[in-house]
Structure 1
Amino acid sequence: MQFLVNVIDDGQARAAGRTESATQAEMDAVDALNDRLGDAVVFAAGVSAPADGTVVDARGGTPDTAAGLVGDHDAYVAGFWVMDLPDAETALRVATEASAACNRRIELRPLL
């Protein structure tokens, strides 16, 4: 099964006064987790700041665009993994490890 594991920034970047919120220790812990998980990590990346986003809605025929994010700007996806794991129980365990490594809340969702 594949899972989307989102890293949630809920004020860390703003508190640090920069776009990326991870400290060097957090980045090192995430790198160590990635190394330990090996091939289970299908893809992983950080995501640019919310101000870099664009919401596009072309459902009405004429595209409408707006700068920023769809939802709450106080909490947003700052990075993510796509992981290939055997089951939901394992995914929850790995998400718990990811939360500890990056010192952030994690959103875990199965991919369909």
Structure 2
Amino acid sequence: MSFLFSDEHTWLQRDGDTAVMGITVHAQDTLGDIVFVDLPEIGKSFAAKEVAGVVESVKAAADVHMPAGGEILEVNEALRADPSLANSDPLGAGWFFKVKLTKLSDLDALHDEANYKKLTD
């Protein structure tokens, strides 16, 4: 499975009509040491680009935007307990939530890795 990236520096990894989402390496580099994450409640639905959570670092706080619309199926409780996972493994153990995608056409607005890299270089 490949990653897709949003302009708001979140990523999505799709598996059928579900996806795992988190913040990008670029986002966590910019934020610095992450000390707190506010994750959405299970069952809540969000549209693409809507704020679904907040991440706080020693430098700043930032909204976490949905890369694609969906209903929250699961949140990463390990991340809530240890927010530094978003720094140490943002594309793996530092994932934020899993969603049931509700509008697959939202994926058309996302970038593949090569195009996202051009945005952040």
TM-score normalised to structure 2 length: 0.32
Which has the larger Rg?
Answer: 1
Looking at secondary structure, tell me which structure has more strand per residue. 2
Query: Which protein has greater RCO, CA pairs closer than 8 Å, 6+ apart?
Result: 1
Kindly indicate which of the two structures has a greater share of residues assigned to helix. 1
